[in-house]
């Protein structure tokens, strides 16, 4: 996940207050296989969107995306589906952490939530903090990730970051 | 056991240079120094906790990180609570994985219903075991880790990869929160409890009004609150979008800690002026409140509800309101009546200790004779796992903390949230009713 390469994808719009119970229902938390979890992604979201989420999707949500339960299975299912990035007017704290910890870019951009339509193709450049719609050249800006979050994303997530940290400490 | 507190006691913030609340002082004392709100900091953990659901992914990530030991086996707590007693083969395997992890890494603090003498829902169990000390910082693989704020401890919820990293390194990264002093004013009316105080807060903040913030509860009513009610209060802090909720230890907490030989931290004093925001919450004469589906912050007074909301199920349990106080309130709300025909009453004491105490007091017998089903201490149906799942179109009243769409079962089922006395009166009526009127 190199911040220098813009991410590209087609937008699937969700709503405000899409909590993790909606992203992945509790009954599936006895599963551990990401591909199996991915089959149940946003299963209960109205109107149905699950069929349109796949490789190269950018999920665009409103306020408080991912509130509620800390279940990382929700983000794991999103990643397994091939989603490129998350964009939201705002994120719930744990969900945001889970995304960047799994190497999935998550950017807060209320203007994009206001303006960008379902199905739009967009590119996201983390380094410059811009989201662009190439078809008409429209550009929205968002705060660039803090250096630590950028490091995490560059490492591919917290797992690799901690692996390097343990190696440098010379202990496991 | 005492070694557990060395870090908390030695690193507690002692500077009086800048007024601050408990959250800021605890973070500062655990390595954040004087980092300002919004800045990132790395803080040490006094305790790292995970359960059968968060643990399943955390254990795998931990091993992929190349870790060969946990940072301190005495400071790791594993609780099998979500899918116990094992609901199916997969659940049995999650629990077995957790048990093996405990054995492999020499973790003594492993709790599993039926297998260990003490067991129950994590956030009820840890304080009961004397594992939560004021001033300590707990990283939990569960969003309701904020419950430990009841004891003046900072409980922060995380996902599995964060927990895996914390298991390996004994630290986590945090964004320093803006702090919000919640100033309760006045005395609530009859038939209210800790649940109604936090619902009153949520009515004002909405479900994301305190996003990324840290709540601290102040006011005479908080000083007088029982431990059980304080846990109910802090438990639902996250439902405002906050990362934590905390109150300064009061006499009831100190008595609880002394009974478990948990050292006190006398230096831990919150400064009234040390907050980024203050929110006044008037609770004078507060009536019982109800949160309407599908939002824990969609709170209204019980007498504003349309009458005749028939109930298929009443569920009393979970980490916010499954305590002995709640079971007493439930029995008071039932007031000697039987559960209405056509309504199920599921009662889930949140721990073995609570179950035992409720038996000694005769509460369990009263409840069973009234027609209740007693469910063993488990997260159960609270998160839609098992033991009381709702079908299509069913409506429930629960003392739990979330009523999101489909939370307890079918996407087209409904959950209302209330205190346990309301639950008791409503179980007897078969519909949501005001205990003051029945
Ligand atoms: S009782 Fe419910 S809210 Fe509490 S830890 Fe268990 S699943 Fe989570």
Run of H or E including B197: helix B194-205
User: What digits encode the pLDDT tens for the residues B120-143?
Assistant: 999 999 999 999 999 999 999 999
Write down the pLDDT at residue B291.
Answer: 98
Distance from CA of B363 to the nearest CA of A (A): 31
Write down the pLDDT at residue A6.
Answer: 82
Cβ neighbours, 10 Å, residue B181: 20
pLDDT at B438 over 90: no
Closest to A70 (Cβ–Cβ): which among B54, B65, B173?
Answer: B54
Write down the pLDDT at residue A2.
Answer: 44
The torsion angle over the Cα atoms of residues A33, A35, A37 and A38, rounded to 10 degrees, is 160
Ligand 1 pocket, B80 CB below 6 A? Answer: no
- How many angstroms separate the alpha carbon of residue A88 from the centre of ligand 1? 27
pLDDT at A4 over 60: no
pLDDT at B14 over 80: no
User: What digits encode the pLDDT tens for the residues B383-414?
Assistant: 999 999 999 999 999 999 999 999 999 999 99
State mean pLDDT over B50-75: 97
Listed range (A125-134, B3-12, B189-198) with the worst mean pLDDT: B3-12
Q: What is the pTM of this model?
A: 0.96
Write down the mean pLDDT value for chain B: 95
Write down the pLDDT at residue B429.
Answer: 98
- Start-to-end C-alpha separation, chain B: 48
> ipTM of this predicted complex?
0.96
Q: What percent of chain A has pLDDT over 90?
A: 94
Ligand 1: nearest atom to the Cα of B402: 3
Ligand 1 pocket, B350 CB below 6 A? Answer: no
Instruction: Give the best residue of A70, A79, A97, A147 to mutate against chain B (max B CB count within 10 A).
Output: A70
pLDDT at B2 over 70: no
User: What digits encode the pLDDT tens for the residues B79-101?
Assistant: 999 999 999 999 999 999 999 99
Residues 6 or more apart whose Cβ sits within 8 Å of residue B233: B150, B194, B195, B197, B198, B217, B222, B225, B245, B247
State mean pLDDT over A61-67: 98
User: What digits encode the pLDDT tens for the residues B152-165?
Assistant: 999 999 999 999 99
The answer to whether residues B22 and B136 touch, using CB atoms and an 8 Å cutoff, is no
Residues 6 or more apart whose Cβ sits within 8 Å of residue B262: B5, B130, B132, B133
Calculate the alpha carbon distances from B387 to A17, A137, B55, B142, B382 in Å.
27, 54, 21, 20, 9
> A69, B143: Cβ pair inside 8 Å?
yes
> B168, A102: Cβ pair inside 8 Å?
no
Instruction: Give the best residue of B404, B408, B409, B413 to mutate against chain A (max A CB count within 10 A).
Output: B404
State mean pLDDT over B269-283: 96
Distance from CA of B57 to the nearest CA of A (A): 7
- How many angstroms separate the alpha carbon of residue A84 from the centre of ligand 1? 31
User: What digits encode the pLDDT tens for the residues A14-63?
Assistant: 999 999 999 999 999 999 999 999 999 999 999 999 999 999 999 999 99
Place of tokens 């087609």: A10
Q: Which of B132, B242, B161, B151 is nearest to B198 (CA)?
A: B242
Write down the pLDDT at residue B302.
Answer: 98
pLDDT at B15 over 80: no
């Amino acid at each position: 996940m190199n911040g220098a390469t813009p991410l590209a994808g087609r937008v699937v719009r969700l709503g405000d207050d899409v909590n993790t119970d909606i992203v992945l229902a509790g009954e599936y938390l006895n599963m551990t296989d990401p591909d199996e979890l991915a089959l149940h992604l946003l299963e209960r979201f109205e109107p149905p969107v699950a069929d349109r989420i796949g490789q190269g999707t950018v999920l665009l949500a409103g306020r408080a995306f991912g509130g509620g339960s800390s279940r990382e299975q929700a983000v794991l299912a999103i990643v397994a589906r091939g989603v490129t990035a998350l964009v939201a007017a705002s994120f719930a704290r744990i969900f945001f952490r889970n995304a960047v910890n799994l190497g999935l870019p998550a950017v807060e951009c209320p203007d994009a939530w206001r303006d960008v339509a379902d199905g739009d193709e967009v590119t996201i450049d983390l380094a410059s903090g811009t989201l662009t719609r190439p078809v008409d050249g429209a550009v929205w800006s968002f705060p660039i990730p803090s250096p630590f979050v950028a490091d995490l994303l560059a490492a591919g997530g917290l797992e690799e970051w901690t692996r390097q940290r343990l190696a440098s400490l010379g202990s496991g | 056991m005492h070694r557990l507190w060395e870090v908390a006691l030695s690193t507690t913030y002692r500077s009086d240079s800048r007024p601050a609340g408990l959250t800021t002082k605890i973070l500062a004392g655990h390595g954040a120094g004087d980092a300002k709100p919004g800045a990132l900091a790395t803080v040490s953990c006094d305790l790292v906790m995970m359960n059968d659901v968060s643990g399943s992914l955390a254990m795998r990530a931990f091993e992929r990180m190349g870790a060969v030991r946990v940072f301190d086996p005495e400071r790791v707590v594993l609780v099998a609570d979500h899918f116990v007693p094992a609901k199916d083969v997969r659940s049995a395997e999650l629990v077995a994985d957790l048990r093996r992890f405990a054995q492999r890494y020499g973790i003594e603090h492993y709790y599993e219903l039926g297998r260990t003498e003490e067991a129950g829902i994590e956030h009820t169990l840890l304080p009961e075991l004397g594992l939560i000390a004021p001033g300590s910082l707990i990283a939990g693989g569960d969003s309701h880790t904020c419950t430990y704020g009841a004891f003046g401890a900072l409980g922060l919820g995380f996902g599995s990869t964060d927990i895996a990293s914390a298991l390996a390194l004994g630290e986590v990264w945090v964004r320093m929160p803006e702090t919000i002093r919640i100033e309760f004013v006045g005395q609530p009316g009859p038939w209210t409890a800790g649940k109604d105080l936090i619902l009153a807060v949520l009515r004002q903040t909405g479900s994301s009004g305190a996003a990324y913030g840290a709540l601290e509860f102040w006011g005479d009513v908080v000083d007088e609150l029982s431990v059980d009610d304080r846990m109910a209060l802090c438990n639902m802090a996250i439902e405002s979008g906050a990362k934590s909720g905390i109150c300064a230890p009061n006499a009831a907490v100190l008595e609880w800690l002394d009974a478990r030989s948990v050292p006190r931290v006398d230096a831990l004093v919150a400064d009234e002026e040390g907050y980024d925001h203050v929110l006044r919450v008037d609770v004078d004469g507060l009536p019982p409140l109800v949160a309407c589906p599908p939002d824990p912050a969609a709170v209204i007074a019980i007498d504003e509800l349309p009458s005749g909301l028939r109930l298929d199920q009443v569920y009393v349990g979970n980490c916010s309101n499954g305590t002995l106080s709640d079971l007493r309130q439930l029995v008071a709300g039932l007031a000697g009546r039987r559960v209405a025909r056509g309504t199920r009453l599921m009662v889930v004491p949140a721990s073995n200790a609570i179950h035992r105490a409720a038996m000694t007091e005769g509460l369990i017998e009263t409840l069973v004779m009234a027609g209740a089903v007693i469910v063993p201490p488990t997260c159960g149906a609270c998160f839609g796992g098992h033991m009381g799942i709702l079908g299509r179109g069913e409506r429930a009243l629960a003392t739990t903390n979330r009523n999101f769409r489909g939370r307890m079962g079918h996407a087209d089922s409904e959950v209302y949230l209330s205190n346990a006395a309301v639950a008791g009166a409503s179980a007897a009526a078969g519909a949501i009713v005001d205990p003051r009127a029945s």
